[in-house]
Structure 1
Amino acid sequence: MSNIEKVKEILEKAGTFYLATVNGDKPKVRPLGGLVFYEDKLYFTVGTYKDVYKQLEVNPNTEVAAWDGEHFLRYYGEAVLEKNDAVVEIAFEQMPQIKEVYEANGLEMGVFYLDNATAEIRNMMEIEESYEFKY
């Protein structure tokens, strides 16, 4: 299993994970669940009409945090917003109810991955594993 697959496994096991962005000079955190593993990258999905997407356009520094019941994950770096129809289609296959909402309302799904990123797999006291990702 590759290092990025380890990160994916924790996020999938957690189910819900939390994405932190910067809104001006204030932090903003929200729960997410959209995740696509494609061409050895871990993509996150958010609507391009949402504040989170706009915040990432202004300041791409972000962090994802998750707890899978056993490990805590901190995955942080620079969001690379990408137009990638293949990833969007996979996301819609995984979440058909979301596809219906987006299509019915003329919305666009945005996707991003983290570059210049670090993933820390932690227990309550220390980092157990740490990985760097540069694409």
Structure 2
Amino acid sequence: MSNIEKVNEILNKAETFYLATVDGDKPKVRPLGFHLLFEDKIYFGVGTFKAVYKQLEANPNTEIAAWDGEHFLRYYGEAILEKNDAVVEKAYELMPDIKEAYEANGWEMGVFYLDNATAEIRNMMAIEESYEFKY
């Protein structure tokens, strides 16, 4: 299993994970559930109309935190916002209710992956594994 697959596996087990952004000089954290391993990158999706997307545009430094029942994951780096129709279509296949809502309202899903990123797989006391991702 590759390093990015290990990170993806923890996100799969966690189901819900948390994305931290910066809004001006204040931290903002929200739960997310969608991620997709595609072409050796983990993509995340958020609506382009949402504050979180605008926060990532203004300051792409972000962190994702997850707990899979055994390990904590800290995955942080620079959000690369990308127009990627293939990832959006896969997201809609996995989440048809989201597709329906977005299409009915004329919304667009924005996708991003983390570059210049570090993933730390941790127990309560220490880092067990750490990986760097640069694309």
Same fold (TM over 0.5): yes
Which residue of structure 2 aligns with residue 31 of structure 1? 31
Which residue of structure 2 aligns with residue 67 of structure 1? 67
Which residue of structure 2 aligns with residue 7 of structure 1? 7
Which residue of structure 1 aligns with residue 100 of structure 2? 100
Over the matched positions of the two proteins, sequence identity in percent amounts to: 83
Deviation at 1:97, TM superposition (A): 0.7
Distance in 1 of aligned mates of 2:85 and 2:110: 9
Distance in 1 of aligned mates of 2:34 and 2:47: 11
Distance in 2 of aligned mates of 1:79 and 1:19: 11
Deviation at 1:98, TM superposition (A): 0.5
* Count of residues in Structure 1 that have an aligned counterpart in Structure 2: 135
5+ residue gaps in structure 2? none
Aligned amino acid, residue 74 of structure 1: R
Structure 1 stretches (4+) deviating beyond 4 angstroms? none
1:16-40, CA deviations, whole angstroms, 9 ceiling, x for partnerless residues? Answer: 0000000000000000011111101
Distance in 2 of aligned mates of 1:34 and 1:47: 12
Aligned amino acid, residue 5 of structure 1: E
5+ residue gaps in structure 1? none
Which residue of structure 2 aligns with residue 45 of structure 1? 45
Matched residue of 1:42: which SS?
strand
Tell me how large the CA RMSD over aligned residues is.
0.3
